[in-house]
A and B are shown apart, each in its own frame.
Chain A
Amino acid sequence: MEKKHSGWEAPGTMVLVFLLFIWIAFLYFGNWVTLSQAWGMR
């Protein structure tokens, strides 16, 4: 691969931050699931 990747400036980073995004979303939603054991506080 000689030239830049299909015109992307930093494709590797794009993949990395996308993984980061998935990870944050996973933690975020995963934690909400744990709330199902709630004590009915309102």
Chain B
Amino acid sequence: MAAVATPNVFSGSRNEYRVCPVTTLKVDAAAERLIIWNAVTAIVALTLGGTYALLIGLTRWPDVHLLSAPWFYRLLTAHGMNMLVFWMVFFEAAGLYFGACILLNARLVGVKLAWVAYALMLVGAVMVNYIILAGEADVMFSAYPPLEASPLFYIGYILFAVGAILVCCIFIATILVAKKERRYEGSMPLAVFGLLTAAIIALFTLASGAIALIPTLLWRLGIIPAMDPGFYRVTFWGFGHSAQQVNLSAMIAIWYSIATLTVGAKPVNEKLSRFAFVFYILFINLGSMHHLLVDPGLASVTKFFNTSYAMYLAVLGSLIHAYSIPAAIESAMRAKGYNKGLFGWLLNAPWKEPGFVSLILSMAIFGFIGGPTGVVLGAGQLNLLAHNTWRITGHFHATVVGGTTLAFMGFTYYVIPLVFRRPLFAKPIVIWQPWVYGIGVATMSIAMTLAGTFGAPRRHWDVTFTNAIIPVQLPSLMNLFLTLAGIGTLLAVTGGIMYVVICVGSLFMPKREARSLSPLEA
């Protein structure tokens, strides 16, 4: 924790600092504004996506079947984009600025460019939202050609991606400059290392996205005659899947951070944890191929080698974190004297801290549902039984929704007092938020998975096939799980609303310096 007061070598005027009274970290004011704007925009995207989640969730509940077919598909497209792309990436942008500037005591390099990046992302997101709601892009977030969306949809997508690339570059530049200016001593903190992993993966991810989307845009503009759907799928998932590894790395960085903030955990072995991150960088992009396991035109060996992430080395990385984080918590708790039995440390952990509850639930949902279902789905012959069924939706609602989103939510409760410098709103409900949301998402994911094993297709408005020419009857047990998913939806959305109410309410709380690390006391 070296707060070195180095003179500002480059541009002194722009960078003002304050020193956080709780953590004694120096906070660059320019970075702080960017963190606030990106985080707030992320929450707006989450609110939109969550509203659509409720509507599509209630449509897939057979007894409710709320929306008409066109609006179901339209809002499903909007849900995917707002959640998976806009909420995640805006929040990650805030996280990257936080990691580079606050945790490294550094100054943000290229403040203007960072605002340009924000503007590009915002314009892209607004365009995409508008064009979807206008009914000009009913194509899902994957936008597989030859399905046609308005060119503005792809332009918005690309603008957003360009903004995100800029954010990653600024983040990396900030770290390099911080190193050069000796803003921090020795190695960078593990959390920043994890974020750096995320940024590096993001760069090749976004490049792959550009290779998929730019020719598609050209095709829609009539400049090139056709877009090969197979080529698109390979490059699109090079973006769409690797982006999930960006989310994964960011989430794990946040897991380590929350563990430190709540119980003072220290990684049991820095070297091991860092290696696990390096495994992600090296192997994770191969995993994109598991989206293509039952596609025509790819050889089995290609599929197998790639989907195994080169001998499951990326899985090994995750298994390492799965040990390393709880072990860090356990050691820290034992060091505090909670030594009773095997699990005394866990029972006596700070269960009254919303961040801690988010951390544990996020790790449990990701670790016990999201990750293992992914490993199963990634085996070729099993994928044949699951591809495009609701099992897939169940899997990723346990990873990116129950895992990443919940971790991000928990982290917000620290960002609000420390960065926004406002006390949390509605403190009594804060502690319940992770429980309601986590249990809701877990219920929904498990129900989706089970419905999928009975054949329930994803992205589907009517599993009774009422108006189809050839009637089809899916097993009636499936309906039970569809209903259960609907109930999970209600719970999860309630948790989501609680989160948004807490965040938005906090924005209107009187500004004051944090008094404690614990968000409930700050």
Contacts and interface: CB of A to CB of B under 8 A. Distances in A.
A31 to B, nearest CB: 5
B268 A9 contact: yes
Contacts of B371: 24
Interface in A1-42: 1-5, 9-17, 20, 23-24, 27-28, 31-32, 34-35, 41
Contacts of A32: 382
A32 to B, nearest CB: 7
Contact of B372 (A2, A17, A27): A27
Interface string B330-369: 1100100001111101100000000000000000000110
A35 B383 CA distance: 11
Contacts of B282: none
Nearest to B343: A12
B326 interface: yes
Interface stretch (B109-117, B166-174, B234-242, B373-381): B373-381
Contact of A35 (B323, B339, B381): B381
B313 interface: no
A13 B340 contact: no
A41 B300 CA distance: 14
A24 B326 contact: no
Given A1-B339, A10-B268, A35 B322 contact: no
A17 B339 CA distance: 19
A35 to B, nearest CB: 6
Contact of B326 (A1, A10, A31): A10
A9 B327 contact: yes
B385 interface: yes
A12 B339 contact: no
A5 to B, nearest CB: 8
Contacts of B340: 1
B322 A12 contact: no
Contacts of A16: 326
Given A1-B339, A10-B326, A12-B330, A35 B385 contact: yes
A1 B343 CA distance: 12
Interface string B90-105: 0000000000000000
A23 B268 contact: no
Contact of A34 (B367, B368, B372, B385): B385
B368 A20 contact: yes
A13 B371 CA distance: 18
Given A2-B339, A9-B268, A20-B322, A35 B327 contact: no
A13 B329 CA distance: 9
Contact of A15 (B339, B342, B372, B379): B342
A14 B346 CA distance: 13
Given A12-B346, A13-B330, A28 B322 contact: no
Given A10-B330, A13-B327, A35-B381, A23 B372 contact: yes
Contacts of A9: 268, 327, 330-331
Nearest to A24: B372
Given A1-B341, A4-B339, A17-B326, A24 B382 contact: no
A17 to B, nearest CB: 5
A10 B341 contact: no
Most buried by A among B341, B342, B384: B342
B294 to A, nearest CB: 11
B339 A24 contact: no
Nearest to A4: B334
Contact of A23 (B327, B368, B379): B368
Nearest to A28: B376
Interface in B413-462: 453
B346 A17 contact: no
A4 B339 CA distance: 7
A36 to B, nearest CB: 12
Nearest to A21: B319
Contacts of A41: 384
Contacts of A12: 326, 330, 342-343, 345-346
Interface of B: 268, 319, 322-323, 326-327, 329-331, 334, 339-343, 345-346, 367-368, 371-373, 375-376, 379, 381-382, 384-385, 453
Closest 9 CB pairs of A and B: A10-B327, A10-B330, A13-B327, A13-B326, A24-B372, A12-B342, A17-B323, A31-B376, A13-B330
23 contacts: A1-B339, A3-B339, A4-B339, A5-B342, A9-B327, A10-B326, A10-B330, A10-B334, A12-B330, A12-B343, A12-B345, A12-B346, A13-B327, A13-B329, A17-B323, A17-B326, A20-B322, A20-B372, A23-B368, A24-B372, A27-B373, A27-B375, A28-B372
Given A13-B327, A34-B453, 14 more contacts: A1-B341, A10-B330, A11-B342, A12-B330, A13-B326, A15-B342, A17-B319, A17-B322, A20-B322, A20-B368, A27-B372, A28-B379, A31-B382, A32-B382
